[in-house]
Structure 1
Amino acid sequence: MLKLIIGNKAYSSWSLRGWLAVKQSGLPFEEITVPMFDEEWNRRREGDEFAPSGGKVPILWDDKTVIWDSLAIIEWLADKTGRDRYWPTDDAARGMARSMAAEMHSSYQNLRRDYAMNVRKQFPPTELSEDVRAEIVRIMELWAQARALHGRGGPYLFGTFGAVDIMFAPVVTRFATYSIPVPRFAAAYMAAILDHPWMREWIQAAQDEPWIIENYEVPAT
């Protein structure tokens, strides 16, 4: 059976991506949640299960094979269970989807830094910096293009739920947590993501976690 090691569900955006990727595979898996940044965090990261990843989460163990990094987990599981589970079948749509997923993987550092994920909170809106605003505009452009060109088959970016939605799901939670205004089409997409049964399961589980990271419990400034 697959084994997935993740961080706190309240705060760990990359863990959410890895977890959604495994859920999308349809394969059974053992889930191990490791609280981040508590007094045992550094000791745990030195263990054998963490070693291949450099002490980062998520980590997927498939028998003796270890895969870390959320996008790598998506690709591993797509190869294992069928790429159509994760990526559009149309060439143009698939090319765009892969590009969007890769851009999400490597970009938007200002949004990530200033607006940490916390699915247990909702803060009032604040003034956005120009750098963050520019990144949000870029995300809105990508979402609009994907929905207009390839989103006719359902409420997600490329119609049906897939790898791109997995990659952007933590961004959706950030927009909701920090009350960031978005256009109507984006609000509809966010509602579809947040109403997905796996997202509801993750967010509900986060409410029951006992761990608190104080830095993530205050509004963005």
Structure 2
Amino acid sequence: MHLIIGDKLYSSWSLRAALALELTGVDYSEELIKLNQSDTRERVLKYSPTGKVPLLKTEHGVIGDSLAIAEYLNEQFPGAQLWPKDIAARAQARSACAQMHSGFFAIRGNMSFDLSRNAPLSPVLADVQVEVQRMTALWAECRAVATETGPFLFGGACLVDAYFAPIAVRLRTYQVELSAVDAAYVETIYQWPAFKAWHKAGLEEVVR
């Protein structure tokens, strides 16, 4: 498989797809198309009519959208157990990912993804604060139905953690004050080897 992504420093959706692939444990190749360049859209359109990344080239065709990629990987690699085993936990995990996928526009619009940032948001808009509170409540809802122990939302790392990794980045890089349990989860994401590798590569893009 071949994953087409945007800048690791800035592309949160690409990060989600990459972490999902890492969860499978399979080998794949990677192609980075720099965003916001004069030829960005032209280069992406060679693979997909959406003009957006990430894209996953597979034997079954090119798959666009990180959630579609995640579900494809879940079907192709059932042994990797990308979703929680328990039915209720799995349903909640899927719901959490869907909510992230289709919402939280205030966070996304006002707290842009940038691995190199280290400064608080000022001022903190009311709708941003509401969404941060909803996000941490959503994390609590995931923990409440988890049946396995571990530092991730459902015990071990799964697709829901791939989906919330970019939020963890935003909360840390914008220095959002968190409860001890939520701060611990953000630290878990930052210590996740798959994320650490992406984070290191993203920061290296700054000095290129």
TM-score by shorter chain over 0.5 = yes
Instruction: Give the residue type in structure 2 aligned to 1:159.
Output: G
State, as a whole percentage, how many aligned pairs show the same letter. Answer: 37
Match of 2:202, SS state, is helix
Count of residue pairs brought into register by the alignment: 208
Q: Which residue number in structure 2 is paired with residue 99 of structure 1?
A: 95
1:87 paired with 2:75, answer no
1:41 paired with 2:40, answer yes
Offset of residue 180 of structure 1: 0.9
Q: Which residue number in structure 2 is paired with residue 218 of structure 1?
A: none
Match of 2:30, SS state, is strand
1:159 paired with 2:155, answer yes
1:195 paired with 2:195, answer no
* TM-score, with structure 2 as normaliser: 0.94
Match of residue 172, structure 2, among 176, 179, 187: 176
**8 Å Cα contact 1:147/1:158 also seen in 2:** yes
- CA spacing shift, 1:105–1:211, aligned 2, 3 Å: farther
Report the RMSD for the aligned CA atoms in angstroms: 1.7
Task: Write out per-residue CA displacement over residues 123-143 of structure 1, whole angstroms, 9 at most, x where no aligned residue.
Answer: 135331111111111111111
* TM-score, with structure 1 as normaliser: 0.89
Q: Which residue number in structure 2 is paired with residue 32 of structure 1?
A: 31
Task: Write out per-residue CA displacement over residues 102-154 of structure 1, whole angstroms, 9 at most, x where no aligned residue.
Answer: 10110100100000000112113533111111111111111122223316510
**8 Å Cα contact 1:44/1:50 also seen in 2:** no
**8 Å Cα contact 2:3/2:31 also seen in 1:** yes
Q: Which residue number in structure 1 is paired with residue 135 of structure 2?
A: 139
Match of 2:205, SS state, is coil
Q: Which residue number in structure 2 is paired with residue 217 of structure 1?
A: none
What 5-or-longer segments of structure 1 have no aligned partner?
213-221
Offset of residue 210 of structure 1: 5.2
Match of 1:135, SS state, is helix
- CA spacing shift, 1:129–1:135, aligned 2, 3 Å: same
Task: Write out per-residue CA displacement over residues 29-75 of structure 1, whole angstroms, 9 at most, x where no aligned residue.
Answer: 1100000011221321332x233xx1100000102511110011010
Task: Write out per-residue CA displacement over residues 163-217 of structure 1, whole angstroms, 9 at most, x where no aligned residue.
Answer: 11111110000011110111111000000011100111001001121589xxxxx
